[in-house]
Structure 1
Amino acid sequence: MSLAGRNTVVKVSSDGEQFTVVQDLKEVTMPMESDNQDISTFGSNHVKRLYGLRDTSYELNGLLNLNDINGQQKIRQSLVENTPLYIQFLPDGNNGFQQEVMVASYEVSASAEGVVELAIELEGTGEVTII
């Protein structure tokens, strides 16, 4: 079953309990990676691997909304004040992933012929929970 991207919801929280929607996002990416370790030995005919450390990050892009104090500004505040932040990434609007994150970057850009845009990079810390 395919999902419509327009139904995607991203929420953030400072306590991991009360989540609020991040407004005015247009694109979200969530790469999940594993640093797989090669454990092949002499005599092996095929590569054997062992799961290593896993890593998840989140890239949020959209329009800057200075009135979104519980979403966009909560993310910026987490970066500036070094406070905890949690994310829920819900591709169908209800189900998806939750994780504690650290803000890696919060970038605002503008051009004379365009709108003021926002790009945020979050790095996961700890396990991803499926919700």
Structure 2
Amino acid sequence: MALAGRKLKVNVSTDGTSFSEVLQLNEATMTNEGDNQDVSTFGSDFIQRLQGLKDSSYSLNGFYDPSNTAGQVAIRDAWLNNTPLYVQFLPDGESGFEQEVKVSSYEVTASAEGTVEVAIEVEGSGAISAV
């Protein structure tokens, strides 16, 4: 079953319990990776792998909204103050994934012929869970 991208929601929290939506986003990506290790030995005909550490990262893009204090501003403040931040990535708007994250990039850009935009990168810190 295909999902409409417009239903996706990204929520953030500074305490891991009370989440608020990050407003004005128009593009969001969640990337999950596993650090696969080659464990092949002499005599192997094919590579054998063992998955090591897992990693998750999130890219959030949209229109800059300084009035979104519990969303965009909370992300900026977590970056400025190196404080805890939790993200919920909900592809259908209701269920998805939750993880503690660290903000690695908070970028605001503008052009004379365009709008003021925000680009945010956060990286997982610890296990990811389904919500």
- TM-score of the pair, normalised by structure 1: 0.99
1:87 aligns with 2:108: no
Structure 2: distance between partners of 1:66 and 1:32: 29
Deviation at 1:130? 1.1
- Which has a greater percent of strand? 2
Structure 1: distance between partners of 2:30 and 2:109: 22
Instruction: Report % sequence identity.
Output: 56
Structure 2: distance between partners of 1:15 and 1:50: 35
Letter in 1 for 2:95: N
User: What is residue 126 of structure 1 aligned with on the other side?
Assistant: 126
Structure 2: distance between partners of 1:87 and 1:111: 29
Letter in 2 for 1:81: N
User: What is residue 105 of structure 2 aligned with on the other side?
Assistant: 105
Deviating above 4 A after TM superposition, structure 1's stretches of 4 or more consecutive aligned residues are none
User: What is residue 38 of structure 1 aligned with on the other side?
Assistant: 38
- The aligned runs of 1:50-89 (5 Å cut-off) are 50-89=50-89
Deviation at 1:45? 1.2
| CA RMSD, 1 decimal | 0.5
What residue ranges of structure 1 are gaps of 5+ in the alignment?
A: none
- TM-score of the pair, normalised by structure 2: 0.99
Q: Secondary structure at the match of 2:73?
A: helix
